[in-house]
Amino acid sequence: MTKSGNEGVFQKSNVENVGSSTEAHEFGIAWGFGLEQLMDIQKEILSAKDNQILCIQEELK
């Protein structure tokens, strides 16, 4: 996932953090997700955040 537990924060919603990527990994394992699936989920989250940023930047123009 990431080099340290404080990098790559997963979010449950726009305002409520799940915690570090390490905590999210442990949560995912508890729900039966494998590391590869968790990494795919993290990529989707980061991609969605990038898209949100682009939309906001476009609105500010």
Contact 1, 39 (CB under 8 A): yes
3-state helix, strand, coil in the chain (%, to 5): 60, 10, 35
Say if 1 falls within a structural domain. Answer: no
Structure-model confidence comparison of residues 44 and 26, the more confident one = 44
Which range of residues forms the domain containing residue 54?
10-60
- Does residue 52 have a pLDDT over 50? yes
Judge whether 29 lies within some domain: yes
In a domain, 55, yes or no: yes
Domain contains 19: yes
Is 42 among the domain residues? yes
**Tens of pLDDT along 14-23?**
434 545 566 6
Can you give the pTM of this predicted structure? 0.43
Written as one letter, the residue type at 51 is N
**Looking at this protein, which amino acid is placed at residue 5?**
G
What pLDDT does 11 receive? 46
Is residue 5 in a domain?
no
Task: Name the domain count of the chain.
Answer: 1
